[in-house]
Amino acid sequence: MIPALSLDNITCTFVSKDDRSQRYTAVADTTLNIAPGEFVSVVGPTGCGKSTLLNVGAGLLEPSSGTVKVFGQPLNGINSRAGYMFQAEALMPWRSALQNVIAGLQFRGVAEDDARRQGEEWLTRVGLQGFGDRYPHQLSGGMRKRVALAQTLVLDPDIILMDEPFSALDIQTRQLMENEVLDLWNAKKKAVLFITHDLDEAIAMSDRVVVLSAGPATRPIGEFVIDLPRPRDVAEIRTHPRFVELHAQIWGVLREEVLKGYQQQKQKV
């Protein structure tokens, strides 16, 4: 089967702004394939290169070497078959919730009536019916995330790239959002690349979890198939004996890297 997203032998080396002779290889020789409809999470210690990989998949960052393919086609420039959701707030404060949701459709030249209809549908799907006229500052953090989710999914991307989208939320709101994402994913089965620090979240959501080593020259050091039943409730699945078993196995690989990453961060301070 042709992967939806294929990162083949990717290396990303950055040149220091202050000293052009200084180089830092964030990611080295990394291969990662995501099948159509597959939900893959990437976990790793802080600063190891997770966002760098996602940016490569999004076409926002050109790797120093290696190839990126989208449904078998080499990627040149922005990945137009992907939708992104980042940790930081991406809503436009001067636009209402509905106007934020339909911004991408307008950009694509979809007729205003059609865009509004689709926007309203998506606001309903993410539980925000009747909130379309509110501005971002009039919404809670969880509601703003829902708007951002609708904004991403209204474009019906074949690949969804998420970089710690819920890390700023309180635990209850976060679990609600995770379940919503799983329900929406279950209905449409798009390829998802999900970046997270949180191993519990990665296991609860995914078909597969990839563990990255601490930097520099980060690479995958473990890959685990998450054979837990679906549909899942992210809070309930954590008590499943198989979840506990998988958690112990993956943490066995991740623990040392997290400690290394932590030491490196301390040295940087």
Residues of the shown chain interacting with ligand ATP in the complex, contacts defined by CB under 6 A: 14, 24, 26, 44, 46-52, 197, 215
Closer by beta carbon to ligand ATP, 48 or else 176: 48
In angstroms, the CA 11 to CA 65 distance is 5
Closer by beta carbon to ligand ATP, 44 or else 83: 44
Closer by beta carbon to ligand ATP, 30 or else 151: 30
Closer by beta carbon to ligand ATP, 54 or else 102: 54
Please report how close the Cβ of residue 165 comes to ligand ATP at its closest, in angstroms: 12
User: Which two tokens mark 121?
Assistant: 């549908």
Closer by beta carbon to ligand ATP, 219 or else 240: 219
Please report how close the Cβ of residue 254 comes to ligand ATP at its closest, in angstroms: 13
In angstroms, the CA 4 to CA 245 distance is 29
Contact 160, 190 (CB under 8 A): yes
Please report how close the Cβ of residue 65 comes to ligand ATP at its closest, in angstroms: 16
Please report how close the Cβ of residue 80 comes to ligand ATP at its closest, in angstroms: 22
The torsion defined by the Cα of 82, 87, 92 and 95, in degrees rounded to 10, comes to 90
Closer by beta carbon to ligand ATP, 158 or else 257: 257
| Residue partners of 243: CB distance under 8 A and separation at least 6 | 203, 204, 228, 237
Please report how close the Cβ of residue 92 comes to ligand ATP at its closest, in angstroms: 24
In angstroms, the CA 264 to CA 178 distance is 31
Q: If you count them, how many residues does the chain have?
A: 269
In angstroms, the CA 216 to CA 10 distance is 14
Helix (H, G, I), strand (E, B) or coil at 23: strand
Please report how close the Cβ of residue 76 comes to ligand ATP at its closest, in angstroms: 20
In angstroms, the CA 2 to CA 202 distance is 24
